[in-house]
Amino acid sequence: MADALSPPPEAERPFPCGLIVLAAGASTRMGQPKQLLAIGGRPLLVRVVEAALAAPVWPVVVVLGAHAAALRPLLAPHPVLVVENAAWAEGMASSLREGIATLAQFSRRLEAAVVVLADQPTLDATVIRQLIAAHHASGRDVVAARYAGRHGAPALFHRRQFPRLAALTGEAGARELLNGGDPPVAAIELPELAEDLDTPDDLHRWRAAHGGANAPPPPSSPPAAILPP
């Protein structure tokens, strides 16, 4: 069950779009909760949540699972909905279902949802704004970042796709939906998002490339071109 919250009174949301942070994984390959890794002087999960809160989305739903007890205190200062996925071991699809269900309970007026991962240290609010702008420009139900030769998270889904997200199963999450050709996807080339943190080697490479554990946050990404599907 999600924690209750009220939106900031000053928030203006001309395009009603929510956001889901998927943070339920066990970080088995990392050997420690990667959501707690210090990146830019603060935990990786906090970094991602702050990027979401700086973007024109509401509400922000954070789906926890394996390490919920350790992660929940990090989120207490932030105006987000926190929901625990009891079926986190099933895979990413179960967290997507939980996030979509929480958004549906929060408001029936949402037109879309952005889905982000908790292990992409280069994610920032500019990327989320680019997804929303690409949705408006293309009219596509799905807009996704493109890196490493395929579409991936973060991605925006129009509410028409919510039933498909709610029906997903398994570890792959929305990968097939994003790369199967139906629906067609508007893509934004964001190669920097290929940098995720799954293993100690990933973390070592990140820290070597970005000046150590407390490297400053990366600069905002410049506007990116929308690519044909």
Evaluate whether residue 214 is within a structural domain: yes
CA atoms within 13 A on the CB side of 192: 14
Residue 41 DSSP code: T
Task: Identify residue 89 by its one-letter amino acid code.
Answer: A
- Cβ–Cβ < 8 Å for 202, 166: no
Asked whether the predicted pLDDT for residue 224 surpasses 90, the reply is no
At 174 the pLDDT is: 83
At 200 the pLDDT is: 79
Q: Which of 137, 181, 186, 180 is nearest to 157 (CA)?
A: 186
User: Beta strands 185-189 and 142-147: pairing type?
Assistant: parallel
Evaluate whether residue 7 is within a structural domain: no
Evaluate whether residue 138 is within a structural domain: yes
DSSP string, 140-181: -SEEEEEETTEEEEEEEEEGGGHHHHHT--STTTTHHHHHSS
Evaluate whether residue 41 is within a structural domain: yes
* pLDDT category of residue 212 using cuts at 50, 70 and 90: low
Instruction: Indicate the Cα dihedral angle 140, 62, 34, 224, nearest 10°.
Output: 30
The domain of 75 spans 17-221
Asked whether the predicted pLDDT for residue 11 surpasses 70, the reply is no
* pLDDT category of residue 172 using cuts at 50, 70 and 90: low
* pLDDT category of residue 223 using cuts at 50, 70 and 90: very low
Instruction: Give the least confident one: 63-67, 148-152, 209-213.
Output: 209-213
Instruction: Give me the residue label for tokens 């979509």.
Output: 100
pLDDT single digits (tens) 29-49: 786 778 888 888 889 999 999
Kindly state the greatest CA–CA separation across the chain.
45
pLDDT single digits (tens) 116-144: 999 899 999 999 999 999 999 999 999 99
Evaluate whether residue 198 is within a structural domain: yes
Q: What CATH number has the domain bearing residue 110? A: 3.90.550.10
User: In the chain, pLDDT over 90 holds for what percent of residues?
Assistant: 56
- Cβ–Cβ < 8 Å for 30, 197: yes
Query: Mean pLDDT in the chain?
Result: 84
Evaluate whether residue 146 is within a structural domain: yes
CA atoms within 13 A on the CB side of 141: 14
Asked whether the predicted pLDDT for residue 62 surpasses 90, the reply is yes
Evaluate whether residue 81 is within a structural domain: yes
Name the pTM for this structure.
0.84
Question: Helix H segments across 21-161?
Answer: 44-53, 68-75, 92-106, 125-138
Evaluate whether residue 163 is within a structural domain: yes
Overall domain count for the chain? 1
User: In the chain, pLDDT over 70 holds for what percent of residues?
Assistant: 84
